Amino acid sequence: MDFKNVLIAIVLSTIVLVAWGTFFEAPIVEQQTSEKQIVENQDLSSPSIDETEKEIKNEITRNDVINNTKRIKVENKNIKGSISLQGAIIDDIIFKNYNETLNGENKVIFLNPKNSSKEYFIETGWA
């Protein structure tokens, strides 16, 4: 009886795999080949956007962004920073106990505001 059930399971699994390959994987392969043909046949003389040009971005210094927005200051013995009231974005965190280099005076800046040179911030998704 067990052998019969195993044989039925193998046959049904094979049918499912063959049907899956026929109905779902074949259209994907056909779509990829047609997209490849479209790219190869694209007219190269038509004007296009130069993708090598970098996006021009107006970058403002970190301190200017911090000074020009309303913020709630946060400070304790380990970190110093602020939270932007516009969008509740946490974008200004500095570690007090860590320097960028061993003998340096510059503290490690963990988060930077939007539009600054090294923007890195936390959005909560509630804004």
Tell whether 93 is covered by a domain. Answer: yes
| 66 and 107 part of one domain | yes
Instruction: Tell me the pLDDT of the chain averaged across its residues.
Output: 83
Cα separation, 55 vs 28, whole angstroms: 33
Tell whether 82 is covered by a domain. Answer: yes
Tell the residue number behind the tokens 């699994």, with chain if given. Answer: 13
> pTM, whole model, 2 decimals?
0.51
pLDDT tens digits, 12-23: 999 999 988 888
Total domain count for the chain? 2
pLDDT tens digits, 81-110: 999 888 878 889 999 999 999 998 999 999
Q: By residue range, what is the domain housing residue 103?
A: 62-111
